[in-house]
Structure 1
């Protein structure tokens, strides 16, 4: 049996015969000596066949894209960190600003990706930018699940940023993760199923309000958007009571077809959540005039919320009946994909 190993800048790329003896890893990355980027180059050379990468504990300062299908990246726990600090207002080499969509520390742009047991962080100094009144263009994404990234599984991961931490543009399941941010930090138009996640609002010194958990941009014709099941909504020390919105609907680019949907099912909410629950978001209409998309116009709902942040029903904070809530299942949201990965 062949037992040779190819060393690729610290990523051990294992032939098929050797993988069976090494827990089926196609590449093993040690952050002290190698890069995840080199392992992703090897995955690209594999031509789309399933490719599994193990990343050992350590910090990788890299900005990366998963560009081929069926890539699995598994870390060694929270201490496996992928970190980078690009933000929307920074000048790109092409002369334009980076813009929100290009800031991701990790971007998934191909189907069938699986991410497990690692931290993905955008390290942009949001707090310092706010302190210095330089916060314009402070959107800084940790993980982008792009439009071509259908069937993305994110499991037991730590996603960390401040503004726009997680951008979901394709069908995804996010399970048992800790997602940390402040402003619109879970956003996008895809059908996405979140289960047993901890959604953490960050403390920003001197802030009056502490942001918005979600900013959905769901198309009207799409039945499901961002759906949170049995999650916990918590806060960092210093975040005051009644300071944080569940979300606001994002009509991206003034597209009138977008009527964002966020739904919280059987979730526990700490006291930082505002009693009103949801708020409006501004956009520019087809006539060029500034308008507001209100919670009443969007599809923002709850069912069976618990904890000190669970508020009373109102025209702004609408509750689903048990029968309506029963439609929001993982199978319905994800359709013909069962939510499993590599």
Structure 2
């Protein structure tokens, strides 16, 4: 396994150098931006390969899961790089990237081959379910999550009126220490902050907390039509592991005519987004990779507005579909799993799926779907959720003809509401209209993202992890 990863690291290093040289010779602005994305993605992939090599020297059950997640993200990063190249650099980059993708697949297959068997159904039910937040959230973080913003004890305060340490969020993030081992709290007072924020890979364990999802607004309008890549269009992009956001409104105001315009992009391992509003149209929330948990969030959009290749659970969230452009269809999810050995997937649990005020009067004229397969092994489940009557009876939509219909995994479990009936759902090989309890349990926080345990203090009704 170490030998496989060493070879991957060498290949990434060589491809990085080649990409830097190519980027210096490209005159096309959009292509240069795509190559810049590739440089960032390969740098992140290199970090995860090196992290995996270290973890494999002293493997535990938890580090085994981390390695699986890290190497899943390596493949995602390489594929994302390839997807962004549509100009003259693609034929040059393609053979290099195909080799990286092949090595990433080999690494994943090796990790799965040496992994301990998953818990039996009986072992799963014996786990104690006593939590609210995943196990990686420490006791002190739980106190923060319950107490903020009142009486907040922040390391840095951001306020537009000058009453804090900084006037912009970008300044606050820049002043946070790199690779900080403890929680670093940035409190953002109420106001509308017009800025694009990147929380880089070295800004670990940052907690961004506001005065409420209607009070503290981070807004931007970068988009694909005006020349940004999808990655770079994000109003807020998060790469630092251990990130927590609470009581923030993430917004991209580009509008539907600007196509892809991301409000929040997350590629941080073990991240928690709690009580936040994430607002856009197409591609609102880019859950790009690694393990993520969204709780009590309000997420709006039109086309593929929750997309990416993370292992992500969205629980107790409101998913609000907006009015798209004429001729467009609404699709909630576009999950991007490209290999059956990736531990990624999107789990929507106990959420409320409904139309926004602009869609409500015309919902009968706009077709809306739960998801469509962005990639070959797309994996999405909707469980214990309230599905409004805006969802088409077919439930799910093809991406392109028969692509991925036999290899995807889409499932529904104990949903309710006028749109929850499955009798007229699609009849695809990979669609599971009535998941068993044991099958559904694979997509809980305990299993999909190894969150471990829930805290009972939430008061949310659940049984045996579902």
Q: TM-score range by the shorter chain?
A: 0.7 to 0.9
**SS of equivalent residue, structure 1 residue 281:** coil
Query: Which structure 2 residues correspond to residues 1-342 of structure 1 after superposition, within 5 A?
Result: 23-33=152-162, 34-44=167-177, 47=180, 49-67=182-200, 68-77=203-212, 78-91=214-227, 98-126=228-256, 129=257, 135=258, 138-146=259-267, 149-168=268-287, 169-204=289-324, 207-218=326-337, 219-236=339-356, 237-241=360-364, 243-251=367-375, 258-282=376-400, 292-313=402-423, 314=425, 315-316=427-428, 318-319=432-433, 320-335=435-450
Distance 1:44 1:210 in 2: 44
Deviations 1:53-103 (A, max 9, x none): 111111000101111100000010121000000001323xxxxxx211111
**C-alpha contact 1:151 1:337 (8 A) present in aligned 2:** no
CA 1:57–1:322 in 2, change beyond 3 Å: closer, same or farther? Answer: same
Q: Deviation digits for residues 176-220 of structure 1, max 9, x if unmatched?
A: 00000000000011110110000000013x624431000001232
Equivalent residues of 1:89, 1:99 under 8 A apart: no
Aligned-residue offset at 1:42: 1.4
Q: Is the 8 A contact 1:259 1:298 kept in 2?
A: yes
1:46 & 1:184 partners in 2: Cα distance?
33
What's the CA shift for 1:324?
1.6
Higher strand share: 1
In the alignment, is the contact (CA less than 8 A) between 1:76 and 1:118 conserved in 2?
yes
**Relative to total residues, which structure has the larger helix share, 1 or 2?**
2
Q: CA offsets per residue over residues 220-273 of structure 1, 9 Å max, x none?
A: 21344000110000101334147201110112xxxxxx4111100011011110
User: Aligned residue for 2:32?
Assistant: none
Task: State the SS of the aligned residue for 2:176.
Answer: helix
CA–CA separation in structure 1 for the residues paired with 2:422 and 2:447: 28
Runs of 5+ in structure 1 lacking a partner? 1-21, 92-97, 130-134, 252-257, 283-290
**Cα distance in 2 between the residues matched to 1:234 and 1:309:** 10
Q: Aligned partners of 1:240 and 1:29: how far apart in 2?
A: 40
2: CA distance between counterparts of 1:296 and 1:274?
A: 21
The root-mean-square deviation of aligned C-alpha atoms, in Å, is 2.2
Q: CA deviation at 1:48?
A: 5.4
> What stretches of structure 1 move > 4 A for 4+ residues in a row?
45-49, 336-340
Give the unaligned 5+ runs of structure 2: 1-150, 456-466
Number of matched pairs: 288
Alpha-carbon separation, structure 2, partners of 1:203 and 1:232: 17
Residue 305 of structure 1 and its aligned partner are, at CA, apart by: 1.4
Summarize the Cα distance change of 1:159–1:339 in structure 2 as closer, same or farther, 3 Å threshold. Answer: farther
Asked whether the equivalents of residues 178 and 204 of structure 2 are also in contact (C-alpha less than 8 Å), the reply is no
Alpha-carbon distance, 1:318 to partner: 2.8
Structure 2 SS opposite 1:89: coil
2:97: which partner in 1? none
Distance in 2 (alpha carbons) for counterparts of 1:143 and 1:223: 22
Instruction: Show the counterpart of 2:61.
Output: none
Q: 2: CA distance between counterparts of 1:238 and 1:163?
A: 20
